[in-house]
Structures are given as C-alpha cells and as structure tokens.
C-alpha cells in the first residue's frame, strides 16, 4: 500500500517541475519570528473534498528511483528550489504587465523550514502559484517525454542520481526522502487558496479549499512528510549546506528558518522584605554562599537566514571567479553534470552592450546523439537586467546549438516579448557578436598548449614508452566536428574561420594521434600542386586499399581521408581553402604536373589511338552503364577503374544518397553517378583484351562469348574496386559460373542423377561384449591388478 501511494505522489512531483530561474533579490533577513505550528495539518482530506483519479501509473519509475538510485539523495532539494525559482521568474515577468499581481506580496523569495515534531520539510515560494484547474491538470498526470528514456537508461541499475536532471524527471528524487506530499497554492487569478493532497494508498488525489484561508497571499507551498530514515534533513546546517551547494546561483533570496534554543532564568516574584531570624535580625549570607541557583527554562526563537548570497556569475569580474565556479555555474544552467570543455566570459561594448558567459560542452547532447529534434529550450538564455526573458531565442545558429550560456543586455526593453525581440536589430547584433566569440573560444581551445608529460624511466634508466596524451581539442573535436562542418556550409561569413578548425587524417599522417588541419596540409603541398586532394569512404582502410591511391602513393602526394558522411557534402558545397580547390581522387581528369607535360601529352595521344578499337568496343558492350570509356594516365596496378565525371556524384556520395532515398521508399535515378570507365594501357589483361577486340570498322562487333565475358568481368571488378555496387547481380552470377566452368574444364553444367545409397547397419545402443573380445564386465578381476586406490 505504501509503494502504491508513492506511485500516486510521483505524478504530482513530476508535474510541479513545470512551475519552476535566476533573478536579483534582497539581503539576509534575520529578525526573529514567531514559531508556527503545523499540527492543524492532518494528512487526511476533509469531507466534501473533490476526488480525481490519476491518469498514469508510475510504479516502475519509483521502483528504480527508490531502490536503485541511492548514491546521492541530496539532489531532491536542488530540484525543489529550481522549481520555486522558475515560479518566481514567471510572476516577475508577468508582473510587468500585471502590477497588481505583485502588490499583495512584493517579496520574491523561497523559504525553507522544517518541523522536528511533525517530521516535515516545507519549501514555500511567492511565485505565480496554481489555480484550482492548474492543480487538477498539472498534478494529476505524468505524461512526460523523459520518463521512458530514463527508465531505459536505468534498467540495468548502473546510473547515479545526477542522471535524474538529465532526463527531466528530477522531482521523482523527492521520494527518496518522503512518502507523503501536500501542495498548497494561491494564484492571483484565483480568489481561493487550494490544497492538493494524496496518500493512504488511494488511487486518487483530493483538492479542497485551504482551511487556513489565503495564508500564502500568492505562491506555492510543498510539504514533504519525511521517511524515518531521512530525518537527517531536519537540520539547519544540513539544509544550509545543500542550498548553498546546489542553488548558489539562484538570484532569488533563499531564506532558511533557523531554530535557536536558549536557556534563560525563570523570573520569580521576590518579597521586598526578608523574613527576620529568631533573634529578630535579618539574616545576611556571606559572599553569596547560601544563595540558591536560579531556575532555568528553554526559550525557542526563529530567524530567517539567507543562504544564497552570490550574485549572478556573469555580473562578476572574471578575475574573481575560480574555474570550479565556472564549472558549477555550467552544471546549474545546463543540467549537464559531465562538465564543460571550455568557456569564455566577456563584456561586449559598443553600440550594443551586454555581458555573456558561453560554454562548450564536453559531451554531445542526447538529441544530437540520437538524431532527435532539438529541444524547445535552447542552450542560451537571454536576460534583460538580470530578468530572464526567454531561453528559446535563436541567438546561436543551428550548428552551434549545442553551446550553453547566458546573455544579459541592458539595451533591450524589460517588457519585450518573444515576437518583437526575435526581429529586433539589437538581437541580430548580439547574435553576430556571440557567434564570433563562440568561434574564437573554439580556436583558442585548438591552440591550447599542453604541458609535456614527464618521461618515466625503468629501473635500468631506460625510457618507458607511453601513449601520447590526446590534445583536449581533439577529444572535443571527435564529438562535435560534424557540427563545425555543417557550419562551413551554412555560415558563409565565418566559413574561413571554421575551415581552419577542421581536422582530418591523411594518407601520410593517419595514426591514432595524427589529426591534420587544412592549413597544415596546404603548407606541405609541393609547388606544382594546386588542388587539395581527398578520398571519401567509410573507413581509412578503404582509402589505404583503393587503387585510386596507387599513383598518389608512388608520387608521395598527400590525400585527405574523409570518413564522415557530411565531409563530402561540405567539400562539394564550398569553393576551396586558401585559394586551393578541393578535388576528389575518384573523379576523372586527375593530372599530375610534376613531370614533362609534353611527354605526357604525346603518351596520351598515342594510347588513345592505339586503344581506340577497345574503347569503342567496351562502350558498345557496356551501353548506358558508363558514360564513356577512356585510357587512364594514373592507373598503375589495377587493369581498370571507374571514376565519376567532374560534376557527378562519387561512389561514396551515390551510396549515401541512395540510402536516404530508400529510407523514403523510392530510388531517385538522379542519385546515380555518371561513370567513366578508365583502362590501364600498361596492364597485360587490357592489352590482351585489345587483341580480342574487333576492328573499328566492324559495325557488328562480332566477338566470341569468352571475350564478352572477359570484358564484363573487367567492368564488374572495376565497379567493386571503385566503391560502386553491381546493379545486375544475376548476369554477374551467370558470367562467373561460365568462368568457373572453363577453369575447371567442365563439359556440361547438367546435374548428375540422384544416387540410391545402400542401407547401413544400425549401431548398437547397449554394451556389446564382442567389442572386448567376448568378456563381460563381471569377468574383470580388479584385485589382480594390484591398484593402489589410496
């Protein structure tokens, strides 16, 4: 029954999470206040309370939270304070247009108090609050997108509590410390303060008018009835430490009610005259030895203490902020507990003034890793004079959407709305400067100087070889490089800067730690080379084993290896780098200008005339499967290869485009590459085929079947070696069968008759004495063997 009650209460906490930001506030409040009793709060709905059934069951979620995520229960307070802060942000923003909403309760703050006797912990805010309908709608369902993903991620029981915030189900963490819940709330539009509660194993929740009246004036009060094992949170020092640790960047005041117990003497009424002694004199004690100790009593008083005195980090001087403070702030605004790879803190001055802190995440967000749509809330929040305006503005382009941070400008009006600020010229100026700073931050990370590791020696004084430490930028680039490549396509004004940030493996430098910039490639180019050569494939091994690399390898010409699908899109969509054009080595017309050009032209003319009968014959044979047949000047070991025309797709791009087309259920013929069949004039297979080719004046092209098969096999092998696929697999199979027939000297491919094998004797299932010369097991005399069984 108790666990079922937890399931019902989880619905409430998950929905409350939508009511929870950062805004300035007042200083510490330390005046004593009267103790308030919560004894009138009995955990039972009064008669006449409205009952509502929950719309979802969350037992599986609670089972994971309560039984698996036990490492850090403290985060429940972080989540509750975050929600309260969001509610305060909302009322402050809405109060600009509705000043009356703020008049009754002008103080925007979060208050935390506890009661030892009742075992309760209460978090109260003066935020927007909830109406009766809000309580019904928000606290009765658990339809949240992160729940399923969270369950899947935690099904092996190997996660930790920090994952809660990652999946947006943070309020479930409250059930690590509490098993009963009451929510009281007052909205400015609702004249009545209402209470939502559920418990005692009910399958429904109750809502009724608060018997205390409108005690909140405005806001929400959440009371947790703590479990016996969670009573450690009924401590001012514990709550103070947690609030400061998790919520120091919340700029609304967080007030903690502290309890002070003092022992004071009891005041007694004393007669003005002392009774006389028997002698009639007044007895006087010496040195107070006979004075009685005064009676003492305990007096309890309460004080409100502000626990978050830090100002918003972006308003502080950079020189006064430690690295761990930047990291803590990043975790607070991003809910990414892996930490940031780098950050920049700057004040932009000029026609538009604003302050900003930008972060580079160290891990790829889930939506990017799983190819989901980006979340509604971007990573960059816009503030106006420390008042949160929105975290949904497109301050960063799509390729930098993974970045996190804040922008605070005093040049925007405080009552600006989303529609007109999105079109504001001020926002465009801010966006331009922020993008420039973001790219500069990435550039500085790429140029970061890493200290060399100390050399380790063995006992004999020899150097112990260790793997070189990877540069921080390469670690980051492996995860986010694809985004920068998309930026090279989308952001033309910053394309030159982004291209310098790209890193590739090459044919000359493709080790584990070898990552080359385009500038490094260009600086190594020989004088005669005026193009940047690249090979696009699935893996580096594809480039290493490709026959297209033969000539480049023999001439020691460096080639970029492109192994990301976006790479070839990018190179095809931009002009070049540093005045050099990009050139795929799998395209036609690849020329090397490092030798005698006149000699090359004479050879080309000679080979073209010599192999004219073969090229015409092959073009006739292959038909539309190839655009043309030419004599190649770059092939070395391969008899033939198939390249693409200058403005056509490569084999790699054809494969990518076809995969996308098939995903939609149809193949677009425009995705097929225009193929050029290149033959090697020095290869013996090609020269032998030339001898079998019909003369150019033979219009019928009369040749034997073996020659036709050889020509088609040359085509198929070239297709496969060039990265293409064989379209007509049936004809390929027939040709290979005929080749095998000839190779094995088989006269006919007719099948032999079925055989009728003789019946075989069945093997005995039981022990057969004949197997041991007719002896039975009882005939064995174990004693005669003199075995030492010990």
The percent of residues above 90 in pLDDT, for the chain, comes to 38
Quick one: tokens of 275? 């009774």
Edge-to-edge strands, sheet with 628-631: 628-631, 675-679, 640-644
> Which tens digit of pLDDT belongs to each residue from 55-80?
655 455 555 555 554 456 887 887 78
Strands 531-536 and 580-584, by their bridges, are: parallel
Q: Looking at the predicted structure, is the pLDDT value of residue 380 above 60?
A: yes
Task: Give the tens place of pLDDT for each residue, 751-790.
Answer: 888 888 888 776 655 655 555 555 555 555 555 555 555 4
CATH class, domain 2-33+49-258, is: alpha beta
Non-local (6+) Cβ contacts of 787 within 8 A are: none
Average pLDDT, the chain: 79
Per-residue tokens: 721: 């070696």
How many residues make up the chain in this entry?
A: 790
pLDDT band at 409 (very low <50, low <70, confident <90, very high): confident
pLDDT for 36? 43
**Residue 518 scores a pLDDT above 90:** yes
Span 202-219, mean pLDDT? Answer: 87
Task: State yes or no: pLDDT of 439 exceeds 80.
Answer: yes
Strand ranges inside 199-295, DSSP E: 204-209, 219-226, 254-265
Q: Which CATH number fits domain 504-584: 2.40.50.100, 3.40.50.300, 3.40.50.11260, 3.20.20.70?
A: 3.40.50.11260
Contact by Cβ (8 Å): 379, 401: yes
610-743 in CATH: which number? Answer: 1.20.120.790
* Mean pLDDT of the 523-527 span: 93
Please tell me which residue, 176 or 354, carries the higher pLDDT value: 354
Q: How far is CA 611 from CA 547, 677, 695, 703, in A?
A: 21, 13, 10, 17
- For residue range 592-616, what is the model confidence (pLDDT) as tens digits? 888 778 888 999 999 999 999 999 9
CB-based burial label for 397 (10 Å; 0-12, 13-18, 19+): middle
Rounded distance between C-alpha atoms, residue 420 and residue 127, angstroms: 26
Q: Indicate the pLDDT class of residue 537, thresholds 50, 70 and 90.
A: very high
Asked whether 644 and 588 are in contact (CB, 8 A), the reply is: yes
Per-residue confidence (pLDDT) for residue 197, from 0 to 100: 84
Whole-prediction pTM: 0.65
In this prediction, residue 492 carries a pLDDT of 94
Q: Please name which of 387, 321, 316, 311 lies closest in space to residue 355, comparing C-alpha atoms.
A: 316
Task: Copy the structure tokens of residue 667.
Answer: 């193949």
Q: Which fold has domain 316-446?
A: Ribosomal Protein S5; domain 2 (3.30.230)
Q: What is the mean pLDDT of residues 466-486?
A: 90
Question: Is 50 exceeded by the pLDDT of residue 144?
Answer: no
Task: Name 26's Cβ contacts closer than 8 Å, sequence gap at least 6.
Answer: 107, 109, 253, 306
Question: What is the reported pLDDT for 183?
Answer: 87
Per-residue pLDDT, 715: 94
Q: What is the mean pLDDT of residues 537-556?
A: 92
Segments making up each domain of the chain, as ranges: 2-33+49-258, 316-446, 504-584, 610-743
Q: If you search the block for the tokens 């073996």, which residue do you land on?
A: 706
Residue 539 pLDDT level (bands cut at 50, 70, 90): very high
CB 320 within 8 A of CB 308: no
pLDDT at site 292 = 67
- Would you list the DSSP string of 742-769? HHTT-S--PPPPPP-PPPPPPPPSS--G
Per-residue buried b or exposed e for 205-230, using 16+ beta carbons within 10 Å of the residue's own CB = bbbbebeeeeebebbbbbbbbbbeeb
748 contact partners, CB below 8 Å, separation of at least 6: none
Structure confidence at residue 412 (pLDDT)? 72
Q: Locate tokens 């790209």: which residue?
A: 502
Q: Smallest Cα–Cα separation from 324: which of 399, 266, 245?
A: 245
* In the predicted structure, residue 189 carries a pLDDT above the cut 80: yes
Give me the pLDDT at residue 153, please: 57
């Amino acid at each position: 029954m108790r666990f079922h009650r937890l399931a019902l209460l989880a619905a409430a906490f998950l929905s409350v999470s939508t009511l929870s930001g950062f805004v300035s506030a007042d200083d510490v409040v330390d005046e004593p206040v009267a103790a308030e009793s919560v004894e009138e709060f009995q955990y039972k709905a009064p008669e006449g309370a409205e009952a509502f059934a929950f719309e979802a069951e969350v037992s599986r979620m609670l089972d994971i939270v309560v039984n698996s995520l036990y490492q850090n229960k403290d985060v429940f307070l972080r989540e509750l304070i975050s929600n309260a802060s969001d509610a305060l942000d909302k009322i402050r923003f809405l109060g600009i247009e509705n000043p009356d909403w703020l008049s009754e309760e002008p103080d925007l703050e979060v208050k935390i108090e506890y009661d030892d006797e009742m075992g309760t912990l209460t978090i109260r805010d003066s935020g927007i609050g909830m109406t009766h309908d809000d309580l019904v709608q928000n606290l009765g369902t658990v339809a949240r997108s992160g729940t399923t993903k969270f369950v899947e991620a935690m099904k092996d029981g190997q996660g930790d509590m920090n994952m809660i915030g990652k999946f947006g189900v943070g309020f479930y963490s409250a059930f690590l410390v509490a098993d009963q819940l009451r929510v009281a709330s007052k909205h400015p539009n609702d004249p009545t303060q209402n209470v939502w509660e559920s418990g005692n194993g009910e399958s429904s929740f109750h809502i009724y008018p608060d018997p205390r009246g409108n005690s909140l004036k405005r806001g929400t009060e959440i009371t947790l009835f703590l479990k016996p094992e969670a009573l450690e949170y009924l401590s001012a020092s514990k709550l103070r430490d947690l609030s400061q640790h998790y919520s120091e960047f919340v700029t609304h005041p967080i007030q903690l009610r502290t309890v002070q117990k003092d022992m004071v003497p009891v005041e007694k009424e004393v007669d003005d005259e002392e009774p006389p002694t028997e002698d009639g004199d007044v007895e006087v004690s010496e040195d107070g030895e006979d004075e009685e100790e005064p009676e003492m009593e305990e007096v309890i008083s309460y004080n409100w203490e502000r626990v978050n005195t830090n100002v918003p980090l972006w308003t502080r001087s950079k020189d006064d902020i430690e690295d761990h403070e930047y990291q803590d702030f990043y975790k607070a605004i991003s809910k990414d507990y892996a930490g940031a790879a780098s950050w920049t803190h700057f004040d932009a001055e000029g026609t538009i003034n604003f302050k900003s802190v930008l972060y580079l995440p160290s891990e790829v967000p889930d939506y990017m890793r799983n190819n989901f749509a980006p979340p509604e809330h971007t990573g960059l929040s816009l503030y106006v004079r420390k008042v949160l305006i929105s975290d949904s503005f497109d301050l960063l382009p799509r390729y930098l959407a993974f970045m996190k941070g804040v922008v605070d400008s005093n040049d925007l009006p405080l009552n600006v709305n989303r529609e007109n600020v999105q079109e504001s010229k001020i926002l465009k100026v801010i966006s331009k400067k922020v993008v420039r700073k973001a790219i500069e931050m990435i550039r500085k990370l790429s140029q970061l100087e890493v200290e060399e590791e100390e050399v380790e020696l063995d006992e004999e004084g020899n150097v112990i070889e260790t793997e070189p430490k990877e540069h921080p930028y390469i670690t980051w680039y492996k995860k986010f490089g694809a985004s920068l490549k998309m930026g090279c396509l989308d952001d033309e004004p910053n394309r030159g800067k982004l291209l310098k940030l790209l890193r590739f493996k090459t044919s000359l430098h493709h080790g584990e730690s070898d990552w080359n910039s385009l500038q490094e490639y260009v600086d190594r180019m020989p004088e005669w080379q005026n193009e940047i050569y690249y090979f696009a494939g699935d893996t580096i091994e594809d480039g290493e084993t490709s026959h297209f690399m033969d000539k480049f390898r023999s001439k020691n010409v460096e080639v970029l290896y492109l192994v990301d699908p976006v790479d070839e899109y990018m190179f095809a969509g931009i002009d070049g780098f540093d005045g050099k054009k990009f050139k795929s080595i799998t395209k036609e017309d690849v020329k090397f200008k490092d030798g005698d050009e006149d000699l090359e032209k004479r050879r080309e003319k000679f080979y073209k005339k010599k192999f004219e009968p073969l090229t015409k014959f092959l073009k006739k044979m292959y038909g539309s499967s190839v655009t043309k047949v030419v004599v190649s000047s770059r092939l070395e070991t391969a008899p033939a290869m198939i390249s693409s025309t200058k403005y056509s797709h490569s084999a790699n791009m054809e494969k990518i485009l076809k995969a996308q087309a098939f995903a939609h259920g149809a193949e677009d013929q425009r995705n097929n590459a225009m193929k050029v069949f290149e033959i090697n004039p020095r290869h013996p297979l090609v020269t032998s085929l030339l001898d079998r080719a019909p003369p150019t004046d033979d219009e019928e092209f009369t040749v034997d079947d073996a020659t036709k098969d050889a020509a088609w096999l040359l085509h198929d092998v070239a297709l496969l070696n060039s990265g293409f696929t064989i379209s007509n697999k049936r004809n390929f199979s027939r040709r290979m069968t005929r080749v095998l027939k000839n190779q094995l000297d088989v006269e006919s491919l007719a099948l032999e008759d079925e055989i009728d094998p003789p019946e075989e004797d069945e093997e005995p299932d039981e022990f057969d004495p004949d197997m041991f010369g007719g002896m039975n097991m009882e005939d064995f005399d174990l004693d005669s063997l003199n075995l030492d069984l010990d």
